[in-house]
Structure 1
Amino acid sequence: MGDAEAGPVDDGRDRDTEGRARNARPRDGLGRPLPYGANGVERQPEGIVRSPAETVAEAQALLDAGKPFHAHEVFEDAWKSGPESERELWRGLAQVAVGLTHAARGNVKGGARLLRRGAGAVREWGVESGEPRPYGIDLAGVGAWARELAGRVEKDGDVIDAGAEAPRLGD
C-alpha cells in the first residue's frame, strides 16, 4: 500500500475525514475570520437546497442585517443546486453580495470590480433569458444599484455600512 492510499495526514489543521479544509473558525458579520474561541456570527449552513423564493427572502434578510457575506453563501447554494439555465443569475447575485462584502471591509478595488461583474452578469442573464424580474428580483434595479455603489466607493474610498447600503432585490 503506497502513501497515496494512506489517507489524510493529521497535521493539526481543521480538516474533514477526506482531508479537505473546514472553515470552523468563527467569523464576523462580514465573513472575516476571528480568533478561535471568539464569539462570531452564526454561519450559514452550506449546501442547502431552497426554492428560488426562499433563496431571495433569506438573502434579502441577510443583506438587510448587514451580512452580505452570508447572503452570498445563500446565492451560492442556489447557483450550485439550481437548474443549469439559472446558474449565471445566482452567480451574478452572489458576486454582487460579495462585492458589497469587500466594499464594507474597505477593499475598494475588489469591491467595485465584483459589484460591476455581478451587475453585468445579472443584466446579461435578464437579456438572454427575457426575464427582467425572475422570482420578483428587479435585475435592472440591482444592476443599477451595484454600478452606482461601485462608482461611489471608488470615488470616496470610504468603508461603507453593509446594512445601510443593502440593495432591495425586488418586490
Structure 2
Amino acid sequence: MARGVPCRCFGKPTSPWNRWFAGRRVDNAEVNDSAANRSSKAPQVPGGPPTGRDRDDEGRARNARPRDGLGRPLPYGVPGVERQPEGVVRGPFETLAEAQELLDAGRPFHAHEVFEDAWKSGPEEERALWRGLAQLAVGLTHAARGNATGGARLLRRGAGAIDEAGARYGIDVPGLVRWASELAEDTEQGVEVDPAACAPRLVAAADG
C-alpha cells in the first residue's frame, strides 16, 4: 500500500517563500512544466549573463543553470543539487528503485526525471504508466513548492493516468491513487508539504 499522507499532521500554512513560488504556473499536460524544461541559454562566464545554448556531455540541449532540491532555478554561480543524467535506459525495477530512493530523500523533481527516461525509452504499452508516475512526482514537487493549484492538478492527472494504465511490476496503483487524492486535498487546503515525509511507496509491500 502506498504510504499515508504524514503532511496532514503538520497543519502549517504555506510560508511566504513558498507562496512566492506558487505563482509559477503549471499549464502543460505533458509534465513538461517550467521546472522540467531542459533547454535554455547558457552563461557566457560563471555568474555572467546567458549567451549560448547549454549542452550536456552528449551534445544534447540541457539547461546548465543550477537548481535546488525541488528543481527551482538558482542564480548562476550558486552551488545547486546535481540533476539526474538524462536519457539513461533503465530496467523497470531499476527505475522504481532509483525513483523511490529519490522520493524518500525529498527529491521528487529528480524522481520525475527518472520516470521521464522510462516514459521516453520504454515500450509503447507502458509509456502511459511511466508518464503518469512522472506526473505524480511533478505534482509532489509543486505541492512542496507551495504551488497548490498546479500541484493538485498534476497529482490528480497522474492518478487518473496510472489508474487507466493499470499495474505492472508490483506498482501499488490503488495506493498511489489514494495517496495522490489525499495529498491534492491537503495541498488545496494550504497544508505545507514536506516532500520526504509525504513521499509515497511505489511498490506494494509483499504479504507476510
TM range (shorter): 0.7 to 0.9
Shift of 1:135: 1.1
Match in the other structure for 1:121: 161
Provide TM-score, normalisation by structure 1: 0.85
Percent pairwise identity: 71
Larger relative helix fraction: 1
Matched residue, 2:120: 80
Q: Distance in 1 between matches of 2:60 and 2:104?
A: 32
CA distance in 2, matches of 1:83, 1:106: 34
Q: Report the CA distance between 1:16 and its aligned residue.
A: 3.7
Pairwise CA RMSD of aligned residues? 1.8
Aligned-partner SS, 1:135: coil
Runs of 4+ residues over 6 Å off in structure 1: none
How far does the alpha carbon of each residue in 1:99-127 deviate from its partner, in whole angstroms, 9 at most, with x for none? 0000000000000000000000000111x
Q: Which runs of 5+ in 1 are unaligned?
A: 1-9, 127-131
Counterparts of 1:28 and 1:15, CA distance in 2: 18
Structure 2 CA distance, aligned partners of 1:94 and 1:162? 15
Structure 1 residues 20 and 75 mapped into 2: Cα distance closer, same or farther (>3 Å)? closer
Deviation, structure 1 residue 20 = 7.3
**1:21 Cα deviation after fit:** 4.7
Residues 1:25 and 2:65 are matched in the alignment: yes
- Do 1:14 and 1:24's aligned partners in 2 also have CA atoms closer than 8 Å? no
8 Å Cα contact 2:54-2:64 kept in structure 1: no
Distance 1:24 1:15 in 2: 6
Structure 2: distance between partners of 1:77 and 1:21: 15
Residue of structure 2 aligned with 1:154, choices 188, 195, 203: 188
Contact persistence 1:102–1:108 (CA under 8 A): yes
Find the residue that maps to 2:52 and give its secondary structure: coil
SS at match of 1:12: strand
Question: Mapping of 1:18-167 within 5 angstroms?
Answer: 21-126=61-166, 132=167, 134-155=168-189, 157-167=190-200
Distance 1:107 1:93 in 2: 19
1:26-76 alpha-carbon deviations (Å, 9 max, x no partner): 111100011111111111000000000000000000000000000000000
Between the two structures, name the one with larger relative contact order (CA 8 Å, sep ≥ 6): 2
Superposition pairs of residues 5-16 of structure 1, within 5 angstroms: 12-16=51-55
CA distance in 1, matches of 2:170, 2:138: 21
Taking structure 1 as reference, are residues 47 and 21 closer, same or farther at Cα in structure 2, changes over 3 Å only? closer
CA–CA separation in structure 2 for the residues paired with 1:61 and 1:15: 28
Offset at residue 159 of structure 1 (A): 2.8
